[in-house]
Amino acid sequence: MQDKKITFIGAGNMAGSIINGLVKGGYPANLICASAPSLTNTQKLADELAITASQDNNQSASWADVIVLGVKPQMMADVCKALVDGGVDFTNKLVISIAAGVSVTRFQSVLGENTAVIRTMPNTPSLLQKGMTGLFASQQVSAQDKDFASELMGAVGEIVWVEEESQINGVIAAAGSAPAYFFLFMESMQKKAMEMGFSKEDARLLVQQSAIGSAEMVKQNAHLDLETLRNNVISKGGTTAEAVRTFNELNLPEIVGKAMQAASDRGAEMEKLF
Ligand SMILES: NC(=O)C1=CN([C@@H]2O[C@H](COP(=O)(O)OP(=O)(O)OC[C@H]3O[C@@H](n4cnc5c(N)ncnc54)[C@H](OP(=O)(O)O)[C@@H]3O)[C@@H](O)[C@H]2O)C=CC1
Ligand SMILES: O=C(O)[C@@H]1CCC=N1
């Protein structure tokens, strides 16, 4: 990977996961700085990973070749304005946003209309280098910077580039928010297993190992579609058939579709707000 100086502005759950995944994957820690108002998250990252922790956004951003913006969407414009007012020159820098709901146009209206901006939508399994990131590049981004962003996010998981910015909201629905869906599903299963008499620990083990095993089967059987994998578990007249019939009667596919649409719609709505 090209060795570039990277500053993360904001280092909470998501940016922290990327920093962890990057350093554990071998990216030089001395090329990474994390800046946030408090040292709570950043100092922990510095102690564990030997990156630099800072409370000075302007100084950290000025030092970097690549600035990863990892603050909450509602504070993004103010944080960017403060960088511009603080004298940070974005002319030769690559800006990578991980925020939902902040458009390229919005970034460029604050940072300068020719700023090279890549919008990404990662997810928290990036912490384990098992992330999924969608990326969209503004016209100003060079092929070399696109390659760098591919390598950067590729270091913490799989990547997919989208041609239309609006598709980032689809990435949010299918990947960025998705870990929470699977956790909710597993929580619901754990709760029922406990009602069936298992201890909390055993209920979790039953559910988590089933989830991990199923996910691994999906990964290792790319030639099989998901329906086939499902059908391989269903014995005619057996138990799984009853569970799946119940899911379908209660319209699980429609529920999932509606939830994903709600996530995507909220992403589009946020783009108007922030
Ligand atoms: N969580 C997720 O699964 C995903 C989140 N995202 C996106 O990531 C972004 C961050 O979300 P998340 O990590 O969950 O949020 P967190 O609240 O965990 O992290 C926010 C971070 O921003 C820092 N911060 C606050 N104000 C400033 C400031 N003025 N300058 C610099 N840093 C500041 C906070 O610092 P301090 O520690 O001092 O409070 C904290 O480190 C959002 O835009 C979200 O859309 C994208 C994909 C998935
Ligand atoms: O909930 C959110 O808005 C962020 C974006 C995707 C996951 N978390």
pLDDT at position 2 is: 82
Number of domains comprising the chain: 2
Model confidence, pTM: 0.96
| One domain for residues 10 and 99 | yes
The answer to whether residues 88 and 62 touch, using CB atoms and an 8 Å cutoff, is: yes
Question: How would DSSP label each residue in 89-153?
Answer: --TT-EEEE--TT--HHHHHHHH-TT-EEEEEE--GGGGGT-EEEEEEE-TT--HHHHHHHHHHH
| Residue 172 counted as domain residue | no
| One domain for residues 96 and 203 | no
Closest ligand 2 atom number to CA of residue 73: 3
Weakly modelled stretches of the chain, pLDDT under 50: none
pLDDT at position 192 is: 99
- Which residue's structure tokens are 């590729």? 154
Tokens of 156: 């913490």
Q: Is 60 in the pocket of ligand 2 (CB under 6 A)?
A: no
Q: What pLDDT digit, counting tens, does each position of 21-54 carry? A: 999 999 999 999 999 999 999 999 999 999 999 9
Distance between Cα 238 and ligand 2 center (Å) = 39
| Residue 1 counted as domain residue | no
| Residue 66 counted as domain residue | yes
Burial class (CB in 10 A: 0-12, 13-18, 19+), 162: middle
| One domain for residues 150 and 215 | no
| One domain for residues 16 and 145 | yes
Q: Is 134 in the pocket of ligand 1 (CB under 6 A)?
A: no
Q: How many whole angstroms from its chain centre is CA 216? A: 20
Q: Is 176 in the pocket of ligand 2 (CB under 6 A)?
A: yes
Q: Is 72 in the pocket of ligand 1 (CB under 6 A)?
A: yes
d(CA 118, CA 146): 8
Q: Is 53 in the pocket of ligand 1 (CB under 6 A)?
A: no
Q: Is 34 in the pocket of ligand 1 (CB under 6 A)?
A: no
| Residue 173 counted as domain residue | no
pLDDT at position 219 is: 97
| Residue 171 counted as domain residue | no
Q: What pLDDT digit, counting tens, does each position of 197-244 carry? A: 999 999 999 999 999 999 999 999 999 999 999 999 999 999 999 999
* 26 φ/ψ sector (left φ>0, alpha ψ -120 to 50, else beta): left
Beta carbons within 10 angstroms of residue 53's beta carbon: 19
Q: Is 12 in the pocket of ligand 1 (CB under 6 A)?
A: yes
| One domain for residues 210 and 74 | no
pLDDT at position 61 is: 98
Which CATH number fits the domain that encloses residue 259? 1.10.3730.10
Closest ligand to residue 79's CA: 1
Q: Whose CA is nearest to atom 19 of ligand 1?
A: 12
Which CATH number fits the domain that encloses residue 151? 3.40.50.720
| One domain for residues 101 and 41 | yes
| Residue 231 counted as domain residue | yes
Domain enclosing residue 67, as ranges: 6-164
- Which residue's structure tokens are 């909710």? 184
| Residue 170 counted as domain residue | no
